[in-house]
Amino acid sequence: MRILLTGGHGFVGTHLKTRLKERLPDHVLIEGQMDILDREAVERVVQDTRPEACIHLAAVSSVLEASQDTRRAWQVNLDGTMNLAETFQRHARHIRFVFVSSAEIYGASFSEDKPLDETATVAPLNSYAASKAAADMAVGMLAKEGLHAVRMRPFTQAGSGQDANAILPFLAAQVARVEAHQQDEITLGHPDAGYDILNVRDACDAYIDALKLPQAPADGTVLNICSGQTRTAGSILNDLMALAGVKAEIRLDPAHLAPSGLQNMQGDPREAQHLLGWAPQISWNNTLEEVLNDWRWRIRS
Enumerate the domain spans of the chain: 2-158+197-228+266-281, 167-193+231-263+286-300
Question: Residues near 268 by Cβ (< 8 Å), separated by ≥ 6?
Answer: 115, 116, 117, 224, 226, 228
Contact 143, 210 (CB under 8 A): no
The reported pLDDT for the residue numbered 92 is 87
Please tell me the CATH code under which domain 2-158+197-228+266-281 is placed: 3.40.50.720
CATH class of 167-193+231-263+286-300: alpha beta
The reported pLDDT for the residue numbered 261 is 61
Give 256: exposed, middle or buried? Use CB within 10 Å, 0-12, 13-18, 19+: middle
- Rg (C-alpha) for the chain, rounded Å, is 19
The reported pLDDT for the residue numbered 258 is 63
2-158+197-228+266-281 shares its CATH topology with 167-193+231-263+286-300: no
Q: Which amino acid is at 281?
A: Q
Which residues of the chain fall below pLDDT 70? 257-262
- For residue 183, what are the CA distances in angstroms to 68, 163, 177, 248, 292? 30, 19, 6, 9, 16
- pTM, rounded to two decimals: 0.95
